[in-house]
Amino acid sequence: MLESYVKKILGSRVYDLAIESPLSPAPLLSRRLGAQVSLKREDMQSVYSFKLRGAYNKMAQLSQEQKQAGVITASAGNHAQGVAISAQKLGMRATIVMGKNTPSIKVNAVRDRGAKVVLFGDNYNEAAEHAKELCKAEQLVYIPPYDDVDVIAGQGTIGMEIVNQHSEPLDAIFVPVGGGGLLAGVAAYVKYLHPSTKIIGVEVEGSNCLDAAMRAGRRVTLPIDKLDLFADGVSVAQIGKETFKVAKRYVDDVVVVNVDEICAAIKDVFEDTRCVAEPAGALAIAGMKRYMTSNPGLSHVVSIVSGANVNFDRLRHISERAEVGEAREAILAVTIDEAKGSFLKFCRALGKRAITEFNYRCADADQAHIYVGIGVKSKEDRLDLVAQLQGKGYQVFDMTENEAAKVHLRHMVGGHRRSPGTEMLFRFEFPERPGALLQFLSGLGSDWNISLFHYRNHGSAWGRVLVGFDAGAKEKKTLQDYLQRIGYRFWSEENNPAYELFLR
């Protein structure tokens, strides 16, 4: 298998269009991780992503008849740009089907390269099904984003370049995983020449289809309605058939990271390169950091920066979560005395630690609950801080990993329910796009009185809303059945301690 792939990789025609991207040193990450870290800069391609390699290699090998028919594909954005620029280079017609919540920067880039864009569905799978229908109806040639031998070979040229560019033996290469085309291509080439080099795939929680397949020993399909869309470039429900065939034999490990860790990795890449990577583009760096923290001893590693097509309005959300993802900020609820000098006393208890955020409202005559962000050095330092404050007599609730607190409550602290005990609290997520909030509210209808509502658009792929309904415990099941019928994914937050402290 590997020899066949290596031949295809060596014969790939990617350099008609792609550049040999540089392998850049990352001094800040290197010092922090205690190893020589290099970043493979695929963000420097003309479409700011590695995806043009596989797309062009596939399309350049089509017959003249196929080229005249035109091509079609479905993509979250980067493969779309690869197909569009390849079609432009080869003088072909291209139709791209993209989910309605695809970042506008990717949609506009595809249109600017002359391709026809069709926006359909709320995720990649829905877009892909529609693309296949159009392909059959209009007799076009489908260009797969990852599960194709020629596409995999095109992406595999990245592995070839890494081997040629790195002078020292490599301990590990970290690769972002969506459908697995890049991972399979890099693994095939590197394992053939250097079988001792670890190939480590990195996925995001909620779209970890390879991790699920590896654990099950077979390809599995993740629930489409629960896919993570923050890292939209790797939001795939099932690993490719051909890519899994390679991965299960030649990939050494899979690391799964969360959104906060990705945001921290985007900041890391920026500090080392001044490149603003997209979430999927920094995914491998997030996985590298997690893996090397738990597996010390690696001396030379490479991580692939796979893309930089990020909407500017998403940077607000990324910057808010980066410090938490880097374990540099603790989000705490602390109960202090409602008395003059209490805040000063609390600050003295913190010593020289930086306070990054402070919110509070008087709750009663004796006590106040404060929402406070505090600078820390690590997760261990955060836990030590909590123990230190508790040792000084403070009641402390650690909200650093509390999603409702980080997304909603930090913007809402300051009011309590007028009639405690008659409110049910739920957190919702829905695909973000123009008109999505109106559609969400229309879905809720007017059957229930809303007692609390918080929505904030921060450029993410998901719209996030916190809603309180005027309902008591006896109506809980009726309300939950009603919400299930609406069809949005939701979580009950009625027992969330942050809600109890600040809003109930």
Spatial separation of the C-alpha atoms in residues 326 and 378, rounded to whole Å: 8
Residue 226: band (very low, low, confident or very high) from pLDDT cuts 50, 70, 90:
confident
Spatial separation of the C-alpha atoms in residues 197 and 187, rounded to whole Å: 9
Spatial separation of the C-alpha atoms in residues 454 and 18, rounded to whole Å: 45
SS3 breakdown of the chain: % helix, strand, coil, rounded to 5?
Answer: 45, 20, 35
Q: What is the mean pLDDT of the chain?
A: 88
- Mean pLDDT computed over 141-145: 95
Q: Is the pLDDT of residue 341 over 80?
A: no
Residue 298, both tokens:
């690696």
Supply the DSSP symbol for 140.
P
Q: Is the pLDDT of residue 324 over 90?
A: no
Q: Is the pLDDT of residue 55 over 80?
A: yes
Spatial separation of the C-alpha atoms in residues 281 and 105, rounded to whole Å: 15
Contact 235, 123 (CB under 8 A): yes
Give the three-class secondary structure for 430.
strand
Q: Is the pLDDT of residue 462 over 70?
A: no
Exposure of 246 in the CB half-sphere (CA atoms within 13 A): 34
Q: What confidence score (pLDDT) does residue 365 get? A: 62
Spatial separation of the C-alpha atoms in residues 120 and 430, rounded to whole Å: 16
Spatial separation of the C-alpha atoms in residues 404 and 206, rounded to whole Å: 17
Q: What confidence score (pLDDT) does residue 485 get? A: 82
The tens digit of pLDDT for each residue in 383-432 reads 999 999 999 999 999 998 888 887 787 777 656 665 556 788 888 887 76
The tens digit of pLDDT for each residue in 13-49 reads 999 999 999 999 999 999 999 999 999 999 999 999 9
- Mean pLDDT computed over 258-281: 95
User: When comparing pLDDT for 497 and 201, which is higher?
Assistant: 201
User: When comparing pLDDT for 369 and 332, which is higher?
Assistant: 332
Residue 459: band (very low, low, confident or very high) from pLDDT cuts 50, 70, 90:
low
β-sheet bridge partners, residue 44:
none
Structural domains for the chain:
2-44+149-323 (3.40.50.1100), 52-142 (3.40.50.1100), 327-401 (3.30.70.260), 415-502 (3.40.1020.10)
- Least Cα distance to 432 among 344, 305, 262, 311 occurs for 311
Residue 452: band (very low, low, confident or very high) from pLDDT cuts 50, 70, 90:
confident
- Mean pLDDT computed over 316-338: 79
Spatial separation of the C-alpha atoms in residues 62 and 67, rounded to whole Å: 6
Residue 306, both tokens:
């796979």
Residue numbers annotated as active site: 51, 306
- Mean pLDDT computed over 279-290: 97
* Amino acid (one-letter) located at 436: A
